[in-house]
Amino acid sequence: MIGFISNLVKSSIQYGDTVFIQSLDGKFSKAALIEGYYGKSGKLNYGHYVFLYLNSQKYLTVTDSADVEESISAQKNELIRIEKVDTNSNDLNYNSHVLLKTFQDSYLTACENSFGTTFDKSDKKAVFKIIQANVKMINQSPPKPNTKLYFGDVIKLKHINTKNCLHSHEANYQEGSKNFQVTAYHSRDDNDWFVVEGTNASVSGQVRYNQTVRLRNESHGQYLYSSSKYRSPVSNQQEVCTCIDGLHEYNPGHSTWKFLSGTNCKDMPEHVEVNQPLRLVHNETGSMLHSHPGFNFNIGWGLLRQQEVTCYPPTQDTNNDWILFEIRGKFHHDQQ
């Protein structure tokens, strides 16, 4: 979608601005508040991802089948990337033409009364103006994005050095524990999601650093697990797998972990939050969740290879560093 932003008061576009999104012929217009990804603020620029919070008090969303709908929460399908139309333009301001690209790589278009999508960014219906609104058109501010981690949340962890996601799938190790494999995977799919649980059902509230947690893979239901008894398939380090309660060698202590803050594991804030470097320590052995570039193995489906995940001693090795980069589909209001 090509967007255009016309300024009545100021030139730059800021997160939190209320705008009208119009087609160039003026026959289509929608009011929206521009919300930053995970609370980002300041000046909006090319390449940024935003949510469009409509005056219906819902978010514009594009489904996997490229249908445009509205949603009460901000998730990945609501993300819109601001892209250039004029390659000679460096700064995004009101009166700039932009492309608004969806998470599915389509572009929003102006239909008669609503947005549509196209995969052809040269489509003339994808040309918009975004005009600054003189009055606040959104009667209710959007809920705060969830930057804090709570028990029950569903999360993705990303390995900082390689940008791959913690991942588990229904394929067993050929040696070692022979449980489900855990890898760091460059693609994104449902096997990346883990539910954060306490040691019993009564544990609730915000997750603190150094608090014992369990991570259950949402796709197949098994828990992140490690034991010094088993070795990883490539580097011969401590194996990491997923394991379900009731297996013959199951030990609950092998599936409990603690988050530590930062790459030096010192000066820890109290609570776990999105986009903060962290480490995950295995309670039973004291080793850290670890991955490393170049250590890939065949997971058993044809030639598909994925990056090994292990447990490694608690050193300053940066391959022990992860980041909580996504919490799915929830908003939490501060409970403090």
Question: What is the structure's pLDDT at 267?
Answer: 56
Mention every residue, 6+ apart, whose C-beta is less than 8 A from residue 65: none
Instruction: Give 1-59 pLDDT, tens digit per residue.
Output: 444 444 345 688 888 888 888 888 888 888 888 888 766 778 888 888 888 888 777 88
Q: Does the pLDDT of residue 226 top 90, yes or no?
A: yes
Q: Does the pLDDT of residue 143 top 60, yes or no?
A: no
Q: How far apart are CA 318 and CA 336, in angstroms?
A: 33
Instruction: Give 236-274 pLDDT, tens digit per residue.
Output: 999 999 988 644 455 667 899 999 987 555 555 789 988
Q: Does the pLDDT of residue 181 top 90, yes or no?
A: yes
Question: What is the structure's pLDDT at 326?
Answer: 84
Question: What is the structure's pLDDT at 7?
Answer: 39
Q: Once rounded to an integer, what is the mean pLDDT over residues 141-160?
A: 82
Q: How far apart are CA 276 and CA 181, in angstroms?
A: 26
Q: How far apart are CA 74 and CA 59, in angstroms?
A: 7
Cβ neighbour number for residue 31 with a 10 Å cutoff: 19
Question: What is the structure's pLDDT at 4?
Answer: 44
One DSSP character per residue, 49-104 reads EEEEEETTSSEEEE-TTS-EEEESS--GGG-EEEEESSTT--S-BTT-EEEEEETT
**Quick check: helix, strand or coil at residue 124?**
helix
Q: Using 50, 70 and 90 to split pLDDT, how confident is the model at 193?
A: very high
Question: What is the structure's pLDDT at 334?
Answer: 41
Domains of the chain: 2-132 (2.80.10.50), 154-327 (2.80.10.50)
Instruction: Give 291-316 pLDDT, tens digit per residue.
Output: 998 888 887 755 577 899 999 998 88
Q: Tell me what percent of the residues of the chain surpass a pLDDT of 90.
A: 37
Q: Pick 83 or 265 by higher pLDDT.
A: 83
